[in-house]
A and B are shown apart, each in its own frame.
Chain A
Amino acid sequence: DTGVSQDPRHKITKRGQNVTFRCDPISEHNRLYWYRQTLGQGPEFLTYFQNEAQLEKSRLLSDRFSAERPKGSFSTLEIQRTEQGDSAMYLCASSLLAGVDNEQFFGPGTRLTVL
């Protein structure tokens, strides 16, 4: 399967702990996106990378959140000092460079529960 993969699929943590999620995009895709989705809502954009460069961060991405894509391949999203409000599905997507046909391919998501 050469789609977008995310690890772990589920994460339960206690408030105040740090968590890290991984996303492996489709291999030839230059762009990688992170979204957050809460119950009953559509995904909300967090940040995106073009190759290894992080080009945009949403206001939703507080100082406790950091994302990296060190070699322009896989990406990690870390949340420090988790809060109950961080409980959500974290989605990763990848695409080729922007253009008419730059559909974003999504991974299955990582569901975070903060107790």
Chain B
Amino acid sequence: DAKTTQPPSMDCAEGRAANLPCNHSTISGNEYVYWYRQIHSQGPQYIIHGLKNNETNEMASLIITEDRKSSTLILPHATLRDTAVYYCIVKRDSNYQLIWGAGTKLIIKP
């Protein structure tokens, strides 16, 4: 079973920051937090991952709480093309499997 809990859906206005929460209260010390997204009718796409520190790349920022029991993915300036299902996954770096939950369906509105 997935070790993460996410809201089933969220809306965000175009141009605003989209903040997607994820709860992973049973995360182990050696498990990373990964985020993927899946645009309709496409395969999932990697976004970002982190262990303890906050991370930022060209797509998004990942904020992990100090106790690592939750995290937030931030899309700083959401566009209509960011409409997708966003998946939060915890995974050991040596573990080949990604165990997926149902994700959050993010709808960006004009």
**Residues of chain A having any CB pair with chain B under 8 Å:** 4, 31, 33, 40-45, 48, 55-56, 91, 93, 98-100, 102-109
Collect the chain B residues with CB atoms within 8 Å of residue A103's CB.
Answer: 34, 46, 49
The answer to whether B44 and A48 touch across the interface, beta carbons within 8 angstroms, is no
| Chain A minimum-CB-distance residue to B105 | A40
* Minimum CB–CB distance for B7 against chain A, Å: 14
Collect the chain B residues with CB atoms within 8 Å of residue A33's CB.
Answer: 96
- Residues 65 to 110 of chain B near chain A (Cβ within 8 Å): 87, 93-103
The answer to whether B96 and A44 touch across the interface, beta carbons within 8 angstroms, is no
The answer to whether B102 and A42 touch across the interface, beta carbons within 8 angstroms, is yes
Interface of B is mostly: loop
**In the complex, A112 Cα to B98 Cα: how many Å?**
22
B43: contacting residue among A31, A45, A56, A106, CB under 8 A: A106
| Chain A minimum-CB-distance residue to B97 | A45
Taking residues whose C-beta sits less than 8 angstroms from the other chain, chain B's interface range is 20 to 34
* Minimum CB–CB distance for B87 against chain A, Å: 6
- Residues 30 to 64 of chain B near chain A (Cβ within 8 Å): 32, 34, 41-46, 49
Interface of A is mostly: loop
**In the complex, A45 Cα to B44 Cα: how many Å?**
13
**In the complex, A115 Cα to B98 Cα: how many Å?**
30
A102: contacting residue among B44, B93, B100, CB under 8 A: B93
- B10 in contact (CB, < 8 A): no
- B2 in contact (CB, < 8 A): yes
The answer to whether B100 and A44 touch across the interface, beta carbons within 8 angstroms, is yes
* Minimum CB–CB distance for A97 against chain B, Å: 10
**In the complex, A92 Cα to B41 Cα: how many Å?**
14
Given known pairs A42-B101, A42-B103, A91-B44, the reply for A56 and B93 (CB within 8 Å) is no
Collect the chain B residues with CB atoms within 8 Å of residue A44's CB.
Answer: 100
The answer to whether B45 and A106 touch across the interface, beta carbons within 8 angstroms, is yes
A98: contacting residue among B46, B87, B94, B100, CB under 8 A: B94
Collect the chain B residues with CB atoms within 8 Å of residue A55's CB.
Answer: 96
* Minimum CB–CB distance for A103 against chain B, Å: 4
Collect the chain B residues with CB atoms within 8 Å of residue A100's CB.
Answer: 32, 93
